[in-house]
Amino acid sequence: MNLLTISELDKEQITTLLERAALLKERHKSGIPYHPLRGKTLALVFSKASTRTRVSFETAMFHLGGNAIFISHRDSQVGRGEPIKDTARVMSRYVDAVVIRTFGHEIIEEYASYSDVPVINGLTDMHHPCQVLADLLTIKENRGTLKGLKIAWIGDGNNMANSWVEAAVKCGFDLTLASPPGYELDEAIISRARADADGEILQTSSVAKAAEGADVLNTDVWASMGQEEEQRERIKSFKDYQINNKTVALANKNVMVMHCLPAHRGEEITEDVLEGSRSVVFDQAENRLHIQKAILEWLMLPHDA
């Protein structure tokens, strides 16, 4: 069993993971020790930079009584071109699960096909499931439900946007994505999702259309990791795709402003909104820890399903 995308989870699995994460969070806050992964090791094989994903997974393993090993492309054979299929099989002989952060989604798919232990997606160019699950937990904590909410995505049709679309299909909220022309998610992804979703999934170039009456305003960097060379060109194309006080004024009074971080203040979000009373960005970051404990438990411990 792996966790590579949100779409491979069914509705009940998402609900179970969110409920379990909430319970583990409560237990952790009460100081109740819980060490079900004693003797188990998680490897983090990362080809891109990370702060939150690395630290939250390492800490999650530590809290659960297990051990974590971080392997960067800079100081391992991964960065020197050792084939994925060899790394995957070698890792399977040492560790009990692996988190991969890489570029093309096909790389993690290949890795998973050669791995004998569970593989977790710690971000690829196409998906960021652990972040979106943490974000769903954050919304549920604040609103009690996901169903029927109006969620807006302002900015790039990137990995985060794609995982949000997959979450909308499973969780029954309305999702409107506002992206500059040329930077939308592939229309085929949207139509496939629409066919399976209970809520509405829309793609538009109008920020106002997405933001009006929104319960959640969500954004991410204009240029993702691997797109550094496009940064200057993207700044021009994305300049009107910002969460600022005007965007917030269009949304519901109690809107939650979300960003997976790291943020570029003054680009996709203004400093005052990021630091303002509607922002839940640090709760999102914290919830990475709690949801990932639920994910690790689910993938690393025996269970019925």
As beta bridge partners, residue 217 has: 152, 257
292 is catalytic: no
89 is catalytic: no
63 is catalytic: no
Nearer to ligand CP, 212 or 286 (CB): 286
CB of 131 to ligand CP, least distance (A): 5
Residue 7 interacts with ligand NVA (CB under 6 A)?
no
Q: Any residues with CB less than 8 A from the CB of 13 and at least 6 apart, and which? A: 305
Nearer to ligand CP, 53 or 162 (CB): 53
Q: Which of residues 49-108 bind ligand CP (CB under 6 A)?
A: 50-53
- The site that binds ligand NVA (CB under 6 A) totals a number of residues, namely 9
CB of 40 to ligand NVA, least distance (A): 26
Q: Which of residues 240-269 bind ligand CP (CB under 6 A)?
A: 260-261
As beta bridge partners, residue 88 has: none
Q: In whole angstroms, what is the distance from residue 284 CA to residue 299 CA?
A: 22
220 is catalytic: yes
Nearest 5°: the CA angle 243, 249, 255 is: 75
C-alpha to C-alpha distances, 138 to 64, 146, 282, 285, 291, nearest whole angstrom: 21, 10, 10, 9, 10
Backbone angles phi, psi at 226, to 5 degrees: 100, -10
CB 192 within 8 A of CB 168: no
Residue 268 interacts with ligand NVA (CB under 6 A)?
no
Query: Which one of residues 87, 131, 158, 242 is an interface residue with ligand CP (CB under 6 A)?
Result: 131
Binder of residue 107, out of ligand NVA, ligand CP, none (CB less than 5 to 8 A by kind)? none
Backbone angles phi, psi at 287, to 5 degrees: -65, -15
131 is catalytic: yes
105 is catalytic: no
Task: Using the rule CB under 6 A, give the single segment among 70-78, 139-147, 156-164, 248-256 that binds ligand NVA.
Answer: 156-164
Q: What is the CA radius of gyration of the chain?
A: 19
**Which residues are marked as active site?**
101, 128, 131, 220, 260, 288
